[in-house]
Structure formats: structure tokens, C-alpha cells
Amino acid sequence: MVAKLEQMRGPAGFQRTVSWRGKSGRAYPLTLHRLDDFLLRAGTLYVVANGAMVLWVGTDADVINDQQSRARFRLAIDCADRVFSLDAPLDDVEKMTLVWDLEGAEPEAGLSAA
């Protein structure tokens, strides 16, 4: 388990963070994960994408509790080439707003946050 974490994080626990801009214009620092071995974790919001196209945004609770979201997640994972994460807000309205904003997000050209 520790070896897998080290492979995902790279040297010295470094995780690559990239900046994506939501529909609102707000920039979000998203942590990149390896698609082949990432896990859904509580308290985390995920962005599943293919290139610059966002395919699905949600949390583990969305996959577990919402049949429609679960079906969209499965389809997105089949088509995706990357997965990003950030901390999910505790407030449901904030979470829904964040999901809406990230569903139309695009990577910021040439910028990345470390």
C-alpha cells in the first residue's frame, strides 16, 4: 500500500497540482491522480476528465447514493484519461455550486500550482 502511494505521489511525496478555471472564472488547484489506481475517498471531490473535457464531477457519496451519478461516473471512467481531486465542501449548497462550476471547467493554459 505504501509503495503504491509513493508511486502515485512521486519522489518525496510530491503530488502534481494543476490549475483549472471553472465556468464562473474561479481558478481551482486540482491534484492529479493516476487513473489506474486512484480510490474514491470521503470528503474529496473528484473531476474525471478526458483531455480538457470534464466528464464527471462528484464525491464518493454521489457514486454510492445516486444511481444516475453512479452510471455517469462509470461511463466517465471508461472514457477518462485523468482524474483530479480537491477537498469537498461540507455544505451541500457549496458542494452543488462547486460541481456546477467544475462541470464546465477548463485547464488554465501553461499554468500549474505547486
The whole-angstrom separation of Cα 110 and Cα 66 is: 36
In a domain, 56, yes or no: yes
In a domain, 30, yes or no: yes
Return the pLDDT at 11. Answer: 46
Q: List, for residues 44-59, the tens digit of each pLDDT value.
A: 999 999 999 999 999 9
Return the pLDDT at 1. Answer: 37
In a domain, 36, yes or no: yes
Q: Which three cell numbers stand for residue 61?
A: 457519496
Q: List, for residues 67-83, the tens digit of each pLDDT value.
A: 999 999 999 999 999 99
Low-confidence ranges of the chain (pLDDT < 70): 1-14, 110-114
User: Which residues span the domain enclosing 12?
Assistant: 2-107
